[in-house]
Amino acid sequence: MSLLKTLCFLLLTCPLIDGRKTREGRVGKAGTEERTILKVKEPYFSNSVFRLFLGGEDTCTLDPLQLHTLTSCGFNSSNPLIIITHGWSMDGVMESWIPRLAKALKSSRLDINVVITDWLSLAHQHYPRAVKSTRTVGKDIAHLLQTLQEEYRFPVRKAHLIGYSLGAHISGFAGSYLGGSEKIGRITGLDPAGPLFEGISATDRLSPDDAEFVDAIHTFTRERLGFSVGIKQAVAHYDFYPNGGDFQPGCDLQNLYDHISEHGLHGFKQTVKCAHERSVHLFIDSLLNKDKQSMAYRCSDNSAFVKGICLDCRKNRCNTLGYDIKKVRTGRTKKLYLQTGSRMPFKLFHYQFRIQFVNQMEMVEPFITISLTGTKDESGDLTIPFKENISGNSTFTFLITLDKDLGELMLLKFYWESSAVWRNMWSQLQTIFTWSNQVEKPQLTLGKIGVKAGETQQRTSFCAMENDGRRVEEGQEKMFVRCKENTTKKHRRSYN
């Protein structure tokens, strides 16, 4: 097998087929596509197997055509229903995250039915063939829900479909097949598959129209060989892009040894799919660590987010990633960004810094080190390398993330050094002018320093402890405390 084909296989697929597909659509007289939603008609024989999760590794097979199996398996029509659907399979084996997610759901909410969609017989094919089967599996799920609706009066709004990769689009197709005015309550897409879905019509993939509320978590949209494993475009009411959505911490080849230690011979495979599957583990994390819910913030793109200009929660500009998301359906898709750690619990605390530099005469390219002390903890030294020179009057914002909550901020330490180029220049000038005092150490003149905590929306302004504290020489550490007029009211205007 050639290197290209090998890489294609490892990274899920190469786009081997093209052509536009529709969900049971038809073409009108003017050549425009009309979306047709058809109810599944009897007799219907499912190509998928549905298993009711009982606990541990135990499941019970449900047969929509044999209604007694729902009763004997313990399906409770009074409780909500969650259907988990896996994605494409390279080895034809049910992946370990599936029972783990099911167990986390049951432990979080005891009064729910958790059903697993087993479509391995169709998923364990060449990727393009598996893509063609997604509509079939979506129809299987729609038939199951229709049976529950007709025989048990189970409202489909009490159903929550959770689909991973191809399973995300399958869940969308299930929603589109159901007829009537009532929609599925919620669909969660866990890194919806990108190849053969990127850039196509909303009727041919997961979209906000498929349920009352749709959310998606994008974790592996970095391009490989001209395509990305996960879909880049927004497909939901709320689309989350952890760490920019293109790659995830702890998932590069440097972590291969850790994966081999944990997963044995499957370690290499785990490294390849690590970022793609991170979406699943972020969702599981939201169930297992209720006290450490990850918050995400609406922003135009990730480059703006890492500059620290998007930590605003007004008018639903922030939301919780995972199971306990605030379900706010709006006409416009919202893209939300956050940073996470490399291991569970993944939550990081976001802090927006805003520093004003006043009347800076000489250009300086500094490396700044800041440390924060709060009522709960200390941050330690945080180094912020500036990629541009500071001169004149200028204001800079940047984002810092920590794995701990500092509490109410009380003290800030500020230290800086010049880049190597500026240090060498100053050293040469000092040598030339050893006979005079004309050469002084470079200085930064600081104006206001403000910090905003994303999770609490509290803002803190810092003032120098000394009268001359606005000027900070290179290599000098300065202490700043909360300004007397400082306010830390929640939900005030952000720095945006």
Residue 255: beta bridge partners? none
Tokens standing for residue 326: 């605030």
Does 135 belong to an annotated binding site? Answer: no
Helix (H) or strand (E) holding 409: strand 409-418
CB 123 within 8 A of CB 41: no
Q: Where are the alpha helices (DSSP H) in 292-433?
A: 302-305, 420-432
Q: Choosing from 48, 89, 133, 165, which is the catalytic residue? A: 165
| Pairing state between β 49-55 and 58-62 | antiparallel
Q: Rounded CA gap, 104 and 241, in Å?
A: 23
Does 210 belong to an annotated binding site? Answer: yes
Active site residue 276: yes
Q: Rounded CA gap, 433 and 269, in Å?
A: 62
Residue 237: which region, alpha, beta or left (left: phi > 0; alpha: psi -120 to 50)?
A: alpha
Q: Rounded CA gap, 264 and 492, in Å?
A: 51
The type of residue at 247 is: F
Q: Rounded CA gap, 361 and 387, in Å?
A: 18
Strands (E), 197-329: 213-217, 223-224, 227-228, 238-242, 295-298, 318-320
Tokens standing for residue 199: 């850039």
Active site residue 72: no
Nearest partner of 292 among 252, 242, 347, 334, judged by Cα: 347
Tokens standing for residue 128: 């393009």
| Phi, psi (rounded to 5 degrees) for 55 | 135, 150
Q: Choosing from 86, 140, 176, 191, which is the catalytic residue? A: 191
Active site residue 165: yes
Q: Choosing from 237, 276, 281, 350, which is the catalytic residue? A: 276
The type of residue at 180 is: G
Q: Which residue has the tokens 């009309």?
A: 34
Q: 449: how many CB neighbours lie within 10 A of its CB?
A: 19
Q: Residue ranges for the binding site for Ca(2+)?
A: 205, 210
Q: Residue ranges for the binding site?
A: 205, 210
Active centre residues (catalytic): 165, 191, 276
